[in-house]
Amino acid sequence: MIENFLSGINCIIDNKIIKHAPVLLNYIVFTDPEVERICIENWSSDGIGLTYEDAAAVIDLNNKFYENVSIVFFDELQYFTNLTLIGSNAFEGCTGLTSITIPNSVTSIGE
């Protein structure tokens, strides 16, 4: 199995798929662990991490962050490149949120 891993083929150790480094590089690295948890839970295609492709497929945040006081940073929103609308109250109650980077694709932000 180690030989397959080193050659770039996924391998299985203890019933978990271990991906080789080039695949891991496709995951977005989140600053905020709570934002990462929410994104993986709602939009990850593999349940392991959020890829740039996963983020680009999101067209609506559906208030997944609403009233989450644990969120501090969400600069990775910039990778949600097909998001055109941030709905009303999308981040209402996120009293700890200090930084967010809105993607250029957003043309409308609700209340």
Helix (H) or strand (E) holding 23: helix 21-24
pLDDT digits (tens, 9 = 90+) for 18-49: 655 445 559 999 999 999 999 999 999 999 99
When pLDDT is averaged across residues 88-97 and rounded to a whole number, the result is 95
CA angle in degrees (0–180, nearest 5) for 16-17-18: 110
Give the integer Cα–Cα distance in Å for 6 and 4. 5
| Position 6 pLDDT exceeds 50 | no
Structure-token pair, residue 108: 């409308």
Residue 32: which residues within 8 A CB-CB, separation 6 or more? 71, 72, 73, 74
Q: Which residue has the higher pLDDT, 8 or 41?
A: 41
Percent above pLDDT 70 for the chain = 77
Q: What is the pLDDT of residue 12?
A: 58
Cα Rg, the chain, nearest whole Å: 16
